[in-house]
């Protein structure tokens, strides 16, 4: 990853759980567990100081659950060592899993873990966690002194990290990683063939026949998890229709999905499917990524966790590089905006037994030393500024190059964090569009109808995106 602002891969990932795995706010995330919203736990904290701002009690214990996905979990062991160097008598009970919701949600209203990395396809819905008071506001973490840098924790974070973790005016979610999304290609192959990575769909459509002539599909994607293709769709919408159009979509503005530029953006992806430029087969994320590595497709869209996730199977001589999402060209309102942001969210449950140690552990995670180890081990940027400064990696360098001249406005979308039902519908429709089962116009109609339904439902608490 590079200097990035939605890591959020499974922002993610953070920003979405796989279709069918979401729990709607109406259902009540915690009702099946305890029958009521949790009340805050009582922390027995010790003496507070500048070096121990939350008053962590020595000889206490803190339970940390890590999502072991594309980024692995080796970085978390480094954070544990950093934490224990300062608090040697505090026991860090760390475990890793990919079944976050399955294993952690039942505990939320009783005795939850203290720190939960809430990511992956089986993640808990963030908007529901916030609405039901299941997770702790972490504004005091932002205001705390940075672990090993001048200023506060907030001062050390990359742009967008605080905004991406803020809901209803409070900071709830620490997004650990800073991801750049885009179209990946094998630079060695492109150099050999004399191909130039396209910047627009027109250029992609012109290159596609040359790619097919080499026996490759021009494009492959994860056709199992709906949030994967959705990243590309929303990036194209932003570039075509502009930032305000996406803000209006997030804010459920009337007819926001019918704004100028939205339909043409989606029509580009409809053409990709109609022209049979996608590798056949319903492949999931690792299968599609492996197909790309095997030379079965020229492009794949995904985030900068890609290299770490596929490290074991990258062929010799394969030069993995990322380029920006394609735009439409002269009509684009934000042609140079890059999709990047903080993701891989970490939360502290409201009923966590040791919230003081949980926040202190997160302070270590966001430290300069911890972030540098994260970048070294994952070949991805952390959300703390400067994490990748000393990492020598060509893939990370390509992401840094993409970000170097990126405008201040970075592509991001909030509705999938705000509204679980709308999130699920958008994932389903993204899959349907990319499978050729709905047209771009039908996608717009169905998303507008789904947004209108949420907007008119007074039982759903509305959230506002200002920028």
Q: What is the pLDDT of residues 105-144, one digit of tens each?
A: 999 999 999 999 999 889 999 989 999 999 999 999 999 9
Same domain, 160 and 26: yes
pLDDT per residue over 321-375, tens digit each? Answer: 999 999 999 999 999 999 998 889 999 999 999 999 999 999 999 999 999 999 9
Is residue 356 domain-shared with residue 281, that is, in the same domain? no
Among residues 285, 307, 340, the one where a domain terminates is 340
18: pLDDT strictly greater than 80: no
Where are the alpha helices (H) located in 126-284, listed in sequence order?
Answer: 126-131, 139-143, 161-164, 187-193, 201-213, 227-241, 243-250, 262-274
Specify if 63 maps to a domain: yes
- For 119, 167, 346, 351, 398, the CA distances from 126, given in Å and listed in that order, are 10, 9, 10, 16, 31
In this structure, the answer to whether residues 173 and 219 fall within a common structural domain is no
Residue 68 in tokens: 């072991």
Lowest mean pLDDT among 5-19, 312-326, 349-363, 393-407: 5-19
Residue labelled with tokens 């966001």:
366
Shared domain for 191 and 105, answered yes or no, is: no
Distances in Å between the alpha carbon of 18 and those of 12, 310, 416? 10, 21, 12
Within-domain flag for 254: yes
pLDDT at res. 2: 33
Does residue 270 lie in a domain region? Answer: yes
pLDDT tens digits, one per residue of 281-327: 999 999 999 999 999 999 999 998 899 899 999 999 999 999 999 99
Q: Are residues 187 and 104 in the same domain?
A: no
Closest CA to 247 of 453, 410, 408, 413: 413
Number of folded domains in the chain?
Answer: 2
* Judgement on whether residues 173 and 289 belong to the same structural domain of the protein: no
pTM above 0.75, yes or no: no
Q: Are the CB atoms for 156 and 384 separated by under 8 Å?
A: yes
- Has residue 400 been placed in a domain? yes
Q: Note whether 263 and 354 are same-domain residues.
A: no
379 assigned to some structural domain: yes
Q: How far apart are CA 228 and CA 9, in angstroms?
A: 9
383 in the same domain as 324: no
For residues 22 and 164, state if they share a domain. Answer: yes
453 occurs within a structural domain: no
Q: Residue range 383-391: average pLDDT?
A: 86
User: What pLDDT, on a 0 to 100 scale, did the predictor assign at position 43?
Assistant: 53
Domain of residue 319, residue span: 183-340
Q: For residues 385-405, give the mean pLDDT.
A: 84
Say what percent of the chain tops pLDDT 70.
91
* Same domain as 347, residue 318: no
Domain end marker among 340, 360, 380:
340
Asked if residue 10 has pLDDT above 90, the reply is no
Question: What secondary structure does DSSP assign to 26-58, as a single string?
Answer: GG-TTHHHHSSPPPPP-------BTTBTT-PPT
Residue 160 located in a structural domain: yes
Using DSSP's 3-state secondary structure scheme, residue 302 falls into strand
219 plus 240 within the same structural domain: yes
Query: What pLDDT does residue 250 have?
Result: 98
Looking at the structure, do residues 148 and 276 belong to the same domain, yes or no? no
Find the distance separating the first CA and the last CA of the chain, reported in whole Å: 24
Q: What is the pLDDT of residue 70?
A: 82
Q: What integer is the mean pLDDT of 187-195?
A: 98
Does 22 have pLDDT greater than 80? no
Q: Which residues have a Cβ under 8 Å from the Cβ of 167 and sit 6 or more positions away? A: 126, 127, 130, 173, 417, 463
Of 392, 410, 428, the residue that ends a domain is: 410
CB 325 within 8 A of CB 232: yes
What's the rounded Cα separation, in Å, for the pair 254 and 258?
A: 9
Q: Is residue 467 part of a domain?
A: no
SS3 content of the chain, % helix, strand, coil (to 5): 40, 15, 40
CATH code of residue 139: 3.40.190.10
């Amino acid at each position: 990853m590079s200097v990035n602002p939605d890591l959020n891969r499974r922002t993610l990932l953070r920003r979405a759980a796989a279709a069918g795995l979401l729990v709607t706010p109406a259902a009540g995330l915690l009702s099946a567990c305890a029958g009521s919203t949790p009340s805050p736990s009582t922390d027995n904290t010790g003496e507070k100081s500048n070096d121990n701002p939350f008053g962590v009690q020595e000889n206490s214990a803190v339970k940390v659950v890590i999502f072991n996905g594309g980024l692995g979990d080796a970085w978390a062991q480094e954070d544990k060592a950093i934490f224990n160097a300062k608090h040697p008598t505090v026991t860090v009970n760390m475990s890793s899993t990919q079944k976050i919701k399955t294993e952690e949600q039942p505990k939320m209203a009783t005795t939850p873990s203290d720190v939960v990395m809430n990511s992956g396809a089986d993640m808990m819905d963030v908007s529901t966690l916030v609405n039901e008071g299941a997770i702790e506001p972490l504004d005091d973490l932002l205001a705390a002194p940075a672990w090993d840098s001048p200023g506060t924790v907030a001062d050390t974070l990359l742009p967008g990290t605080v905004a991406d973790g803020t809901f209803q005016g409070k900071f709830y979610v620490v997004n650990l990683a800073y991801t750049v999304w885009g179209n990946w290609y094998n630079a060695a192959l492109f150099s050999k063939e004399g191909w130039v990575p396209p910047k627009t769909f027109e250029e992609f459509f012109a290159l596609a026949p040359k790619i097919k002539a080499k026996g490759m599909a021009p494009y492959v994607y994860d056709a199992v998890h709906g949030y994967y293709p959705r990243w590309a769709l929303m990036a194209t919408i932003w570039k075509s229709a502009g930032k305000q159009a996406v803000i209006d979509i997030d804010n459920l503005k009337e007819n926001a999905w019918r704004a100028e530029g939205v339909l043409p953006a989606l029509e580009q992806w409809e053409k990709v499917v109609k022209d049979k430029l996608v590798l056949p087969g319903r492949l999931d994320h690792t299968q599609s990524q492996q197909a790309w590595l095997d030379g079965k497709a020229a492009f794949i869209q995904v985030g900068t966790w890609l290299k770490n996730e596929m490290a074991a199977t990258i062929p010799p001589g394969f030069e993995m590089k990322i380029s920006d999402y394609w735009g439409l060209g002269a009509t684009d309102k934000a042609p140079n905006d890059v999709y990047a942001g903080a993701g891989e969210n970490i939360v502290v449950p409201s009923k966590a037994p040791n919230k003081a140690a949980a926040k202190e552990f997160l302070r270590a995670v966001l430290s300069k030393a911890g972030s540098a180890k994260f970048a070294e081990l994952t070949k991805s940027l952390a959300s703390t500024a400067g994490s990748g400064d000393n990492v020598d990696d060509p893939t990370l360098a390509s992401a840094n190059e993409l970000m170097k001249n990126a405008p201040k406005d970075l592509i991001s979308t909030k509705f999938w964090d705000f509204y679980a039902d709308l999130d699920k519908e958008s994932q389903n429709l993204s899959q349907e569009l990319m499978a050729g089962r709905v047209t771009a116009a039908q996608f717009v109609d169905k998303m507008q109808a789904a947004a209108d339904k949420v907007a008119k439902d007074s039982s759903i608490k509305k959230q506002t995106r200002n920028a």
